[in-house]
């Protein structure tokens, strides 16, 4: 017997080495420990999360936590195939440190710092790698992390964060601030991405089962004189000719 359908979604966590991907993901998996930093990821680790819709449809979301180290780049690139969503994790404290170092060296601050420029270019590469994915373009979330390394007013003024938010908006990506020790901010992007994928799936499925959604006519329009059928002169002439012709034919058959 056929059971309720199952749908699967694939989500990729990407970002530079040590940006904090595994730490955020471990909060979402209830495995986070403040006393123990995670080991650097080797290749790709994945975990499944499941949700069941009210009609019994089972949604499986596969999260792939990738290594940021350059030596795994080619392995990670192959994981972009058939992806539905990508979470790009960027360390805000590293960006800010690099900006202030450049300021101290008297760099021209009207152009984005070298590291900000590099991180933004990596966002562009993420988009290019997503071409031909299952959902094109995939949902992209940009997450600026390690916000606990800023005091609140400094975070709002962070130039690296502002650049990142601007670029995320240009890519139609949603931006989040997060920090691994703060569970609420760490798990929010994961919960939101699951909700977005499921909402989109349900919307597409319902659109397929009701392909033409016509709006019912408002009662006042139906009563309006403009909607009364109009006797067209052409219609009357046609009817008269048809009647004469049928009388003639019947007459012929009687004789």
Taking the least distance from each CB to ligand GTP, the nearer of 92 and 197 is 92
What's the min distance (Å) between Cβ of 108 and ligand GTP?
30
Per-residue tokens: 100: 């202030």
Angle ∠(104,107,109) on CA atoms, nearest 5:
105
Which parts of the chain fold into alpha helices (H)? 21-28, 73-78, 92-104, 114-129, 152-157, 159-170, 183-209, 219-223, 233-254
- Would you count residue 22 as binding Mg ion (CB under 5 A)? yes
Taking the least distance from each CB to ligand GTP, the nearer of 59 and 140 is 140
Rounded CA separation 42/46 (Å)? 12
Please report where in the chains the tokens 């979301």 appear, as a residue. 61
DSSP state of 227: G
Give the one residue of 67, 76, 120, 168 binding ligand GTP; rule: CB under 6 A.
67
What's the min distance (Å) between Cβ of 27 and ligand GTP?
9
Interaction pattern, residues 135-164, with ligand GTP; x per rule: CB under 6 A: ----------xx-xx---------------
Give the up-direction half-sphere exposure of residue 160: CA atoms within 13 A in the CB hemisphere.
30
- Would you count residue 192 as binding ligand GTP (CB under 6 A)? no
What's the min distance (Å) between Cβ of 38 and Mg ion?
6
Taking the least distance from each CB to ligand GTP, the nearer of 59 and 90 is 90
Q: Contact 160/92 with Cβ under 8 angstroms?
A: yes
Q: Which residues form the interface with Mg ion (CB under 5 A)? A: 21-22, 41
Q: Which residues form the interface with ligand GTP (CB under 6 A)? A: 15, 17-23, 37-38, 40-41, 67-69, 145-146, 148-149, 179-180
């Amino acid at each position: 017997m056929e059971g309720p359908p199952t749908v699967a979604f694939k989500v990729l966590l990407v970002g530079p080495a040590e940006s904090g991907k595994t730490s955020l993901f471990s909060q979402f998996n209830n495995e986070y420990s403040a006393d123990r930093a995670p080991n650097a990821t080797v290749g790709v680790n994945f975990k499944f999360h499941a949700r069941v819709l009210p009609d019994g449809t089972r949604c499986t979301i596969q999260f792939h936590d990738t290594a940021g180290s350059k030596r795994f780049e080619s392995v990670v690139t192959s994981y972009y195939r058939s992806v539905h969503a990508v979470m790009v994790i960027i360390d805000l404290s590293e960006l800010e440190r690099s900006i202030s170092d450049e300021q101290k060296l008297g760099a021209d601050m009207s152009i984005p710092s070298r590291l900000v420029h590099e991180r933004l270019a990596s966002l562009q590469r993420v988009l290019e790698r997503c071409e031909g994915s299952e959902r094109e373009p995939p949902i992209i979330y940009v997450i600026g992390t390690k916000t606990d390394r800023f005091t609140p007013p400094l975070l709002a003024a962070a130039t690296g964060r502002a650049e990142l938010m601007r670029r995320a908006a240009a890519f139609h990506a949603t931006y989040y601030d997060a920090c691994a020790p703060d569970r609420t901010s760490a798990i929010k992007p994961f919960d939101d991405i699951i909700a977005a994928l499921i909402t989109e799936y349900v919307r597409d499925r319902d659109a397929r089962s009701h392909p033409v959604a016509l709006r019912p006519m408002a009662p006042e329009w139906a009563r309006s004189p403009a909607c009364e059928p109009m006797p067209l002169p052409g219609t009357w002439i046609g009817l008269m000719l048809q009647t004469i012709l049928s009388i003639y034919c019947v007459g012929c058959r009687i004789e």
